[in-house]
Amino acid sequence: MDKITKYASNWHLNLVTAINLDRWGQPVEAIVNYKRLSKQISCATVDRNLPLTAEQKKLCGILVMNLDLRIKLLDNPHPQLGDNDPASLEKISSFVPKLENLSVSTSDGASCLSSSTSHKDSDNYLLSHDMRGSLQGSLLPQPSRQAGKTYLTIKIEKIGLKDAIDLTDPFITVSIKGMSTLIDRNPSGCDLSPVQNTPPPTKEEMTYIVFDVNVHIQSCLEELPDNCAIFFEFCHYKPHKQIISTKCFSFLEKDELVNGALALEIYKKPTNVFRQNLRLLSRKPLFLHLNLSIIPP
């Protein structure tokens, strides 16, 4: 996989994160992520070591312009904005597939935007080595509380893995998934709250990786459908392949939300939002340890 695709893969991930924050009413955090992405792309387009074609640079330039307009809009909300306006969230979202499918130049110099470009494994994504340092977590602060609403904070204490000390740069991705319709059977489900990544662990033991961090769920519990679940995907970096890989996952269904300590079973990848045909990662008594705090109205 070429250098351009590695960069584009990282931009795609950052853009999706920013859009999720924007869509779920976190303008301050969205602005921070939009600014970071705009700077990353702007620097890349003038980097002589990154052989972008003229068409690829044009696409990047348009995206940067739209990002900057979106940032200004979030700073000063405009009451009347059409879906096709360069600063609209719909317009920004239209760049997600374009970045995902940004590919290398062909041998004759023509730019290729191919819909066939995809990750080898949906549970893996490429990451440029010099960008690994930016993966320092994306946890969000406690959301602004609304009267009469219930909120949830999850403390991720530790996860039990038999090869814990052999894993590089591990982290946990926390998301809330709702069941997609039975017609499309979308394997990724639909996100019901901003996706968050933990920072690196505080300690690694023989069979445990200790995170000891609080994840503040941004949506109030009343807004979440009864069939949703909170997913915890354990990821780590594979240096020899230069990819971030999902090793395993756990989940917590809405009707299981109670105050106090919980130990969740850990399942083999790929993550299945339908929670069917699950396979335990290990026969050993190793679990994901959480502590839940439900904040009443």
247-284 residue pLDDT tens: 999 999 999 999 999 999 999 999 888 898 999 999 99
Point out the residues of the chain with pLDDT beneath 50.
Answer: 1, 104-122, 126-134, 181-188
Q: Where in the chain is the domain with CATH 2.60.40.150?
A: 151-295
Angle value at C-alpha 214, between 211 and 218, nearest 5 degrees: 135
At 161, which amino acid appears?
L
CATH level 3 topology of 151-295: Immunoglobulin-like (2.60.40)
Cα–Cα distances (Å) from 198 to 62, 71, 165, 232, in that order, read: 32, 25, 18, 10
Nearest alpha-carbon partner for 160 in 204, 123, 199:
204
Q: Where in the chain is the domain with CATH 1.20.120.360?
A: 3-101
How high is the pLDDT of residue 149? 95
How high is the pLDDT of residue 135? 54
At 117, which amino acid appears?
T
How high is the pLDDT of residue 108? 31
How high is the pLDDT of residue 206? 84
d(CA 228, CA 192): 8
d(CA 29, CA 17): 10
DSSP string, 187-243: TT-EESS--EE----SEE-SSEEEEEEEEE-SS-GGGS-TT-EEEEEEEEEETTTTE
Domain 3-101 part of CATH 1.20.120.360? yes
How high is the pLDDT of residue 183? 33
pLDDT digits (tens, 9 = 90+) for 246-256: 899 999 999 99
How high is the pLDDT of residue 190? 67
DSSP letter, residue 116: T
pTM, two decimal places: 0.61
Helix (H/G/I), strand (E/B), else coil: 43: helix
d(CA 235, CA 98): 25
DSSP string, 236-290: EEETTTTEEEEEEEEEEEGGG--SEEEEE--EESSP-TT--S--BS-SSS--EEE
